Amino acid sequence: MLIGTIQTHRGLLFASLLIAGSALVGCRAPEVEESSADSYLSIDEVALDARINELLQVGHSDGMTASIWVGGVTGEPWYTRNASTVRAAASSIKTAYLVELFDAYAEQLDESVSELAEIVTDESHPAVAHFSADDLTEIRLEIEGATIRRLGHMMIRGSDVSNVVYNAAANVVTALLGGPGELTALIHQRNAAFNELTVRRYMLAARDVTGDNEATATSLAAVLRRIASRRMAGVEPDTISAVWDILRVPDDDSPDGRVHYFKSGSLNSDPMVRIRSGFWHFPTNETIVYVVIIEQPVPGSLSRDQAGERLAEVSVSVTAEVLAAAR
């Protein structure tokens, strides 16, 4: 059992934010970060670990485990638990895809590009070859003429499209950027802190053929921190603003000005995983970045659907406890 470490900025968090959102190539210049001048208050990490262990107990016999990273946009994390463990990334890795897409097409965000039609009309293209004929019809209808901005929105939010289109959009982005290997290289070239993010397959393709898309809580947090700080190496400020717009969850906005930027991830095949990641931005210009990954190897004692629902519930509860500890 790993015991995490936790510190928190005084007065940064409020209990009311905890459940919000629960429904839901070439070398680049090095990035320079300033050290954080924030003052921090240590809190009871033992108590927090005990509470997380309690929440995980419901799936302990089925191998349920957690990876957690919580902190600000600079400095050391406030709390970590198994944060360097490589996990299935599910859709949480799409945040890194979005940065690369919007950077590559920064001057064309509100335009469609001919490559979209070329990809989705080629039934043999690996981005879409694993979809059914009916799925392909729907994918072409939604994606063929989409703008780059709309493509990013479908891939991240997916609120107004089917799960098929939501994931096919990510596959088209992957193809536009050269395929899984080239996209991985782009992400790694962006910043060495992203090196534990790996793209090996297209979304909804078999996970045991080319390997899975993987990440650590630390590497997902590294991407989110640089987005949240608006200081992503090689990316223009307007492009980062466009990324913020896609990640924002307007329904989570609070009357006092707190804004939530969020990306989840979910896999019901083995290993099963639920991921909650994002950042809360405060009117005081303070930010909290968080990643919570709950994983178990197989459904175990439950049906697959029941195990997935339990994972989702635990991920929400663990996220709430971690943020509550930082009040």
Write out pLDDT tens, residues 116-129. Answer: 999 999 999 999 99
Give the per-residue pLDDT at 236: 97
Residue 282 banded pLDDT, cuts 50, 70, 90: confident
Give the per-residue pLDDT at 39: 35
Give the per-residue pLDDT at 233: 95
pLDDT of 90 higher than 50: yes
Mean pLDDT of the chain: 89
Is 279 strand, coil or helix? Answer: strand
Residue 286 banded pLDDT, cuts 50, 70, 90: confident
Give the per-residue pLDDT at 197: 98
Q: Give ∠ CA 255-256-262 in degrees, rounded to 5.
A: 80
Give the per-residue pLDDT at 37: 35
Give the per-residue pLDDT at 3: 36
Give the per-residue pLDDT at 4: 39
Task: Tell me the average pLDDT across 259-267.
Answer: 97
Write out pLDDT tens, residues 137-155. Answer: 999 999 999 999 999 999 9
pLDDT of 202 higher than 90: yes
DSSP, residue by residue, 105-130: TTT-TTS--HHHHHHHT-TTSTTTTT
Write out pLDDT tens, residues 155-194. Answer: 999 989 999 999 999 999 999 999 999 999 999 999 999 9
Buried b (16+ CB within 10 A) or exposed e, 123-151: eeebbbebbeeebbebbbebbeebbbbbb
Residue 234 burial (CB < 10 Å; 0-12/13-18/19+)?
Answer: middle
26 within 8 A of 296, measured Cβ to Cβ: no
pLDDT of 300 higher than 60: yes
Go through the domains of the chain in sequence order and give each one's CATH number.
Answer: 1-85+216-235+247-327 (no CATH), 89-215 (3.40.710.10)
Stated pTM of the model? 0.90
Write out pLDDT tens, residues 19-53. Answer: 444 444 333 333 333 333 333 435 578 988 999 99
pLDDT of 96 higher than 50: yes
Q: What percent of the chain has pLDDT over 90?
A: 78
38 within 8 A of 9, measured Cβ to Cβ: yes
CA distance linking residue 100 with residue 104, whole number of Å: 6
CA distance linking residue 217 with residue 140, whole number of Å: 34
CA distance linking residue 71 with residue 10, whole number of Å: 13
Write out pLDDT tens, residues 2-21. Answer: 333 334 443 444 444 544 44
CA distance linking residue 173 with residue 189, whole number of Å: 18
Write out pLDDT tens, residues 224-256. Answer: 999 999 999 999 999 999 999 999 999 998 899
